[in-house]
Copies of this chain bind each other. A is one copy, B any other.
Amino acid sequence: MNDIQHLINKINKFRDERNWRQYHNPKDLAISISIEAAELLEGFQWINSEEALKTNKENIREEIADVLIYSLMLCSDLGLDVKEIVEEKVVKNGRKYPIR
């Protein structure tokens, strides 16, 4: 089994053990990604990157994890293959921003 699917399985096991999928409609998962993204951003509020990584490294680490967890949940629920959608977008970005 590949690593991404392994992580998705752990995340799904976590929420099924608690019967939480009932709350996890796609719109609320998208909302959650935004909420966690802002909590990540809060680690950099008022200060520069260097200072943020000195002071808030642990928080930043956890908030990136939260963004990834909800994003993986949403991919899983929408039947999207992470590898496929990321590779497709990198290719699309390549056409939008050709190498000069």
A67 touches B67 (CB 8 A): yes
Residues of B within 8 Å of A37, CB to CB, are 30, 33-34, 37-38, 67
Partner of A26, one of B10, B53, B86, B94: B53
Seen from chain A, the residues whose Cβ lies within 8 Å of a Cβ on chain B are 2-4, 6-7, 10-11, 14, 17-18, 23, 25-28, 30-35, 37-46, 48-49, 52-53, 60-62, 64-69, 71-72, 74-75, 78, 80, 82-83, 85-90, 92-94, 97, 99
10 closest A-B pairs by beta carbon, nearest first, are A38-B38, A65-B89, A37-B37, A27-B44, A34-B37, A26-B49, A65-B85, A27-B49, A25-B49, A2-B3
